[in-house]
Every structure is written in C-alpha cells, then in structure tokens.
Amino acid sequence: MKFTHATVPTLKEKPAEAEVASHELLLRAGMMRPLAAGIYTLLPLGALALARIEDVVRDEMNAAGACELILPTLQPSDAWEESGRWSAYGPEMMRLADRQGRDFCLAPTAEEVITLTVARIAPSYRDLPLNLYQIQTKFRDETRPRFGLLRGREFRMKDAYSFHADAADLDETYARMYEAYSAMARRCSLEVKVVEAATGLIGGDISHEFMVVSGIGEDVLVFCDSCDYGANAELESHRPSRAIGSPGGAAPEEVHTPDMTTIQDVAAFIGVTPEAVIKCVMYVADGEAVAAFVPGYREVSEPKLAAALRTDDFHPLREDERELFGGLTPGFTGPVGLRGVRVLYDSELAGGQGMVCGANRLDYHLRGVDEGRDFAAEPLADIAAAVAGDLCPRCEGSLGMARGIEIGHIFKLGLKYSEPLKAHFTDADGVSRPMVMGTYGIGTSRILQTVVEQHRDEKGICWPTAVAPLPVELIVLDPGNGSQAEAAARITGGLAERSVQVLTDERSLSPGIKFNDADLVGLPVQVVLGKKLVDGMVDLKIRHTGERRDVAAGDAVGGVIRALEEAP
C-alpha cells in the first residue's frame, strides 16, 4: 500500500475539536475525519485498525463457542414497546417513521430483536444453549458527544446474546464470556480492571464492566489492592477506615458560624476534622424535599441515593426552589430538631458521637451532637461514596480509586426479555418455560481510540502489533533513486511472501516530514531506505522503543520479521 494511494492526510497542528490526546492523534495521523458531532468517517488506516480489532473479537467469540449472525439495524417499535424500553430509552434512541407512519428506531442495542429471532428457532431444550453475536454499527443520540470515538452517536460494537434452559447454564456461558473479554483486552494490549456495575437500561441482576484505567475516563472505579474486588463507583461497597466524631459527653452547644457553608470552613473554625462534621445535601424527589446526611469527608453517591429512594426522579435543591420549602436553612441544615422534610442517613453515621452539624438556623452550627441521644439516624442506607483508603468489603485490603474507560459490559439478564416477549422453550418434561438470557457488549471503535490513548508518546501513536493498521512502514527518502526504488520493491515483495503488509512512503517530500509522519502514524516497525543503501545497509526502527538498527539490505526482510516478533 502506497502512502499517496492510502489517503493518509496527516496534520501538523492540533485540530480545534480534539479534547484528548487520542482524539487528536487519530485526526492528525489521518485515521479519521469528522462529519457531524459524534459521527466520524474512518479513513483507510483507521478502517484497517478497526478491522484488526474486530478480527481479535471474532477469534475470541468463536473460540468461546459463539456464532456470528447479522441482525437488522432498522428495528420496528413493536418489540421495544413489548419489552417496555420504547419509552424508557428516552431521547438517546434515534427514532423515525416509514412512509406508512410506522415507528422504527436505529438500533442502540438488539435484545428485543434477537429474543424474537431465537423464540422462533429454538423452541426445545435440545436447541439450547445458544450464543449468537454480531459486529454492527449502533446509534445513540448522545446529549454530549465528546472525545471522538469514546462517546459518539454512531459507533461500532460487538453485541452477543446467550439463551439457556436455566441459570446454571447461563453461569457457565457468562464465565466463558468473562474470559473471552479478558483475552480480547490482552490481545489488544489493554490492561483492564473488571468491576461490578449497575445494569441500567439493559437490565438484569448482575453485570461486570471491563474498564481501562485512564485519566480521561468518565467512570470512577473502586478496587482493592489485595483481592480481585472491584466495582463501579455507582455500585461499590466499602468499610470505613477512620472514625467519625469524637467521644460524646455534654449536651450540644450552639456555635456562631457566620457565612460558613463548606465542611472545611466549619471544621477549621470549630477546631475539628471533616470526619467530625455531618454533611447535609438537599434534594427534591417527586416534589418532596429530601435531606441526605453523610459524614463530612464523603460525598453523596447519587446512584446509591437513587436506589435508596427507589426513584431516579430527583435533583439537587435549586436556588429557585428554596421558597417552596420555607422551613429549611440550606447550608446550615442538621438532623437535630429537623421537621417537615424527608431524611435519609448514611449507615456510617449510626452511633456517631461528638459530631458537628447545622443548627437549622442561619449562621449557626451545633457541636457535641450524639446520634441516638440528640437525633435518630433513621432510615439508614448506604448513600455515601467511597474514598481512597476505605477498607475492602471482602478482605482487609485498602480500596483505591481511579477513572476508567468502559470498553465492554456483560450482563446476566435472566427473564427480563424472554418473559414479556414470550421467548419460551419446551423442557425435557414437556413444560413451556421462558429462556434464561445473557448479553455481552464490547465497543470495537471505542477500543480503537482507547488503544491510541494508552499507546502513544509525544511524537504520535505507538501501535501494538496485534491491532496496528499495518505492521511496517517503508520510507523511501529519494523515490527517484533507482536503487532505492528497486530495494523497496524487493523488500515489499519479500515481506508479502511472509504475509506482512507494508505502507510505503514514496512521496517527494523532505526526509524530516516523512520521519515525523512515520512517528505520527506509528506503525510498529519502520524501514528507511536512504544513503546507507550505498553501503548495502538499511535503517530499521522499532516505533515503541525508538531503537534503531543497521541491517544489511539483503537481510531486511528477516530483520523486519525479528523486529515484529520483539515489538509489543
């Protein structure tokens, strides 16, 4: 493949739209171009890299016993209405009507369609289990598309669906998918943390996310340094490693704290640590004021709060809503004597003594407050977010926290779709029963950018060999030089015989531009044909390490093969 024929429009400057390094590099290296917000054209090298990633995914899915199929992207609303997700999915679903006025969507996922399909082809227990997958373009009208391929409105995804006679059989396939996803990540040179996660709109009882630790990740992960416990912050559990409050004693004392509404200011003024202060965060849920109390050194976890309130319909109290709840004193709200408001306490506050809290009076706090004597922490729930240093819920290890990019998510669905969509099979006793289901998604276009995010340097991309668009770039410094052109043809032909494809830069540009573009594009091995060829030598560079080698021109093919074996 020649550089000029492959359409590799490299850019010297950072594109204005690029928010993160991987997005910038994919644009600058000529891998893709934007069409609209969250919608991208993958150019030839980007398409080749995506194909390599999807080959890895296919290998592992096939090895795990799954079979590939192709489902419609354009899906009628009927099945989605039967499952209850037509309205639940909300504005993220791309909807349209055909000429007869029938409602359709551009599929964001395919649980409904695959369930109906399998219901028609697997009516007996003898037909189960089934594990079917596809690699397809999906559509979600994201509120805020960002970070290039990491959060787009059109993206590539492998989605798989398994069908079983019982939960035990699902468990076996789920374990195989867990291992297959781990293998996919390893082969793409990504280190993942597997964490427990909420099931969200997909549904089910149990799910795990495959997360790549990254500062640009949109999810917060909590994980143990001693065991394999890990969870998305929305689902984590923890044990506190520090004590709150101080030994109890005298009755609460009112302290004048003018204009002090932050935990840090109040703690410093009174002479305590944030662990001794009770934080109150006010919300409005279904038109009702809710006071959520947590230890002062923690934040309220809104996903946990949603679970405790049993509703997602809540928001922090707005300035314009304060007059609706006249009995409250935001910034100075405390549990002692609080009336006329729904309350919820984090479990850690139970039994706390010698604490500081708002006095329900402007510019005043109480110190020396004991739970059980001065107020009752009821109802209790786990509504506080973890902090680094908390103890693992499974062992004595410490919990760490990091941001992560989700590349895959697997779910145990149970009967969520098979019951409403009547996907039944006849068991060995002739009884009709709903199939037990699992679903397994992994974002192949998201992996593409995540690989770039994890494998780059100040010069450009450093592609891992397994997913590089091509393994080798051949840089011909003087295309008009007959000996260089002949050597290029000989090396390209020799590598082709070894099934190694080459990108040849034969452009009539300065060596500096070619070298910079080669590092920007970042193929694993570079071969330079220049002045050294007069002495029968070529220059070979391993992109990942920057190591350069002089190799005899006659052994260039062997040198490249050896370098590829050594490259990551």
Q: pLDDT tens-digit profile of 242-258?
A: 999 888 778 899 999 99
Q: Which two tokens stand for residue 560?
A: 């490249």
**pLDDT in the model for residue 324:** 83
Mean pLDDT on 312-339? 89
**pLDDT in the model for residue 442:** 98
Q: How confident is the model at residue 525 (pLDDT cuts 50, 70, 90)?
A: very high
CB 434 within 8 A of CB 424: yes
Q: Mean of the per-residue pLDDT values for the chain?
A: 95
Mean pLDDT on 26-36? 97
Q: How confident is the model at residue 234 (pLDDT cuts 50, 70, 90)?
A: confident
**pLDDT in the model for residue 422:** 95
**pLDDT in the model for residue 115:** 97
Q: How confident is the model at residue 492 (pLDDT cuts 50, 70, 90)?
A: very high
Higher confidence at residue 279 or residue 325?
Answer: 279
Quick one: which of 470, 500, 493, 487 has its CA closest to 561? 500
**pLDDT in the model for residue 5:** 86
Q: Which fold has domain 470-566?
A: Rossmann fold (3.40.50)
**pLDDT in the model for residue 328:** 86
**pLDDT in the model for residue 326:** 75
For residues 530 and 528, what is the distance between their CA atoms, to the nearest angstrom?
6
**pLDDT in the model for residue 13:** 94
Mean pLDDT on 308-332? 88
Q: How confident is the model at residue 205 (pLDDT cuts 50, 70, 90)?
A: confident
- Per-residue DSSP letters for 34-76? EEETTEEEEPHHHHHHHHHHHHHHHHHHHHTT-EE----SEEE
Does the domain at 253-381 match CATH 3.50.50.100? Answer given as no
Percent of the chain with pLDDT over 70: 100
E strand map for 415-556:
424-426, 432-434, 436-442, 456-457, 460-461, 472-476, 502-505, 525-529, 537-542, 548-552
**In the CATH scheme, what is the code of domain 44-71+107-237+401-452?**
3.30.930.10
| 404-449 per-position pLDDT tens digit | 999 999 999 999 999 999 999 999 999 999 999 999 999 999 999 9
| 369-391 per-position pLDDT tens digit | 999 999 999 999 999 999 999 99
Name residue 163's beta-bridge partners.
130, 437
For residues 2 and 28, what is the distance between their CA atoms, to the nearest angstrom?
18
Q: Is residue 17 predicted with pLDDT exceeding 80?
A: yes
Give the Cα-Cα-Cα angle 97, 98, 100 (nearest 5 degrees).
Answer: 110
For residues 153 and 12, what is the distance between their CA atoms, to the nearest angstrom?
27
Q: Which of 162-176, 195-209, 427-441, 520-534 has the lowest mean pLDDT?
A: 195-209
Q: Which residue has tokens 């640590």? A: 273
For residues 189 and 160, what is the distance between their CA atoms, to the nearest angstrom?
22
Where does the chain hold its CATH 3.30.930.10 domain(s)?
44-71+107-237+401-452
What SS3 class is residue 542?
strand
**pLDDT in the model for residue 200:** 83
Q: Is residue 203 predicted with pLDDT exceeding 90?
A: no
Q: Is residue 463 predicted with pLDDT exceeding 80?
A: yes
Region of 460 on the Ramachandran plot (φ > 0 left; ψ -120 to 50 alpha; else beta) = left
CB 165 within 8 A of CB 435: yes
**pLDDT in the model for residue 201:** 84
- The pTM of the full predicted model, rounded to 2 decimals, is 0.90
Where does the chain hold its CATH 3.90.960.10 domain(s)?
253-381
Quick one: which of 356, 349, 362, 346 has its CA closest to 266? 356
**pLDDT in the model for residue 552:** 96
Name residue 239's beta-bridge partners.
391
**pLDDT in the model for residue 325:** 84
3-state SS track over 154-172: EEEEEEEEEEECCHHHHHH
SS3 content of the chain, % helix, strand, coil (to 5): 30, 30, 40
Mean pLDDT on 494-502? 96
Q: Where are the alpha helices (DSSP H) in 125-220?
A: 167-187
Mean pLDDT on 55-65? 98
Percent of the chain with pLDDT over 90: 90
